Amino acid sequence: MSLADVRDDLNISDEDDQNLSDEEELITAQKVLENLENAWLNEQNCPDILPHQTEMLELMLGQISHMDENMKSLDKNDFRFIAHKMELERVRYIITSYLRTRLKKIEKFTKHILIEEDSRDDEHKRLSEEETQYAREFHQGICSHFNQVALQYMPPNLQGTDEKQMIVRPNLLSHIYLKAKKDVASVVVGADDEEVDLVAGSQHIIPYQLISDLVLSGKAQLI
């Protein structure tokens, strides 16, 4: 994955690919960072796990290692070095915090997320490959741990566990803070089908499930 791919996604002209000006490259990297920041905020404030951002992450990680490489030639006391270094640390923090938030959800709602994930087709998977693998291994680990520590010492008729009873689900009706990015007409906001129009830039507190589609389509941002 290279920056050229992002430019394609953003429909930026590819004509002068050879002598791509610095500025063009920066605009796209900037956009990637913006997307990651939004994804981070959404993920932190959302009760459910949101679609993974592997593409954005890979682009940003590529950019970071590219910059790390370039910075080797700079003097460590140079102001430019310090400014870049500080910014990279900030970007790294966003990335790690984002991934950690997702892992926390995976560990908490393992079985629920795995079941949901199995019911989705390849296009709409929410976990990255690595996360799926982690979730499966984590689930197996927990099961065998229960078994080794306690269950195997129980009388045989008590050893069975009903998996369905043990599923921990997120409360999708929990209240979240929301900021509308675009005007959205007639959103249902209550149990009695009360509707309001969300104006771009307005803020609301509302049960997540009622507006989850707005978050997924990027029309609203969790705050």
Partner 1 sequence: MEPCELEFIGENTIIGVIPNFTMDPIHLISGSIGPFRAGLPVHVPLWLAIHMKKQQKCRIVPPEWMEVDLLEEIREEEKRSKFFTKMPDEHYMVISKLILCNAADDVPSAEEIRTKIKDIFDIRDAKLRTSIKTFLQGSGTYAKLDNLTQFEIHTVRPLLPHALDHIARYQRAAIAAERRTTTMSNSGFAGSSGHNSFFSQ
Contact residues for partner 1, defined by CB under 8 A: 22-23, 26, 29-30, 33, 41, 44-45, 47, 63, 67, 79-80, 82-84, 86-88, 90-91, 93, 97, 108, 167-171, 173-177, 189-191, 194, 196, 202-207, 223
What does the CA dihedral 7, 2, 87, 21 come to, rounded to 10 degrees?
A: -50
- Give the closest residue to 170 by CA, choosing from 108, 222, 127, 221: 108
What is d(CA 46, CA 30) in angstroms, rounded to the nearest whole number?
24
Kindly state the smallest distance separating residue 19's Cβ from partner 1, in Å.
16
Nearer to partner 1, 93 or 153 (CB): 93
Kindly state the smallest distance separating residue 158's Cβ from partner 1, in Å.
21
Kindly state the smallest distance separating residue 136's Cβ from partner 1, in Å.
22
Nearer to partner 1, 2 or 171 (CB): 171
Nearer to partner 1, 40 or 128 (CB): 40
Give the single-character DSSP code of 217: T
Nearer to partner 1, 68 or 129 (CB): 68
What is d(CA 59, CA 74) in angstroms, rounded to the nearest whole number?
23
Report CA 124 to chain centroid distance, whole Å. 14
Kindly state the smallest distance separating residue 129's Cβ from partner 1, in Å.
26
* H or E segment and range at residue 214: helix 208-216
What is d(CA 114, CA 105) in angstroms, rounded to the nearest whole number?
12
Nearer to partner 1, 15 or 194 (CB): 194
Nearer to partner 1, 93 or 146 (CB): 93
Number of neighbouring beta carbons within 10 Å of residue 53: 23
Report CA 194 to chain centroid distance, whole Å. 31
Q: Note whether 195 and 187 are within 8 A (CB).
A: yes
Kindly state the smallest distance separating residue 154's Cβ from partner 1, in Å.
23
**Please, where are the H alpha helices in 120-195?**
129-149, 163-166
Kindly state the smallest distance separating residue 165's Cβ from partner 1, in Å.
8
What is d(CA 88, CA 52) in angstroms, rounded to the nearest whole number?
22
